[in-house]
Amino acid sequence: MAIKATIYKASLQIADMDRSVYVDHAVTIARHPSETDERMMIRLLALALQLPADTLNGTLEFAKDLWDNDEPALLHKDLTGQIVHWVEVGQPDDKRLLKASGRAERVSVYSFSHSTPIWWAGIANKVSRANNIEAWQIEAPQSQALATLAQRGMQLQISVQDGTAWIGDGKQSVEITPVRLNPA
Give the CATH superfamily of 11-180: Restriction endonuclease-like alpha-beta roll domain (3.10.640.10)
**DSSP for 139-181?**
-HHHHHHHHTT--SEEEEEEEEETTEEEEE-SS-EEEE--EE-
Q: Are strands 6-16 and 179-180 parallel, antiparallel or unpaired?
A: unpaired
Q: Which residues pair with 156 in a beta bridge?
A: 12
Rounded mean pLDDT, 150-155? 97
User: For the chain, which residues make up each domain, given as ranges?
Assistant: 11-180
pLDDT(84) > 60: yes
Average predicted confidence (pLDDT) for the chain: 95
Burial 7-18 (b: 16+ CB within 10 A, else e): ebebebebebee
Query: Range with the lowest mean pLDDT among 15-29, 66-80, 160-174?
Result: 66-80
Q: How confident is the model at residue 1 (pLDDT cuts 50, 70, 90)?
A: low
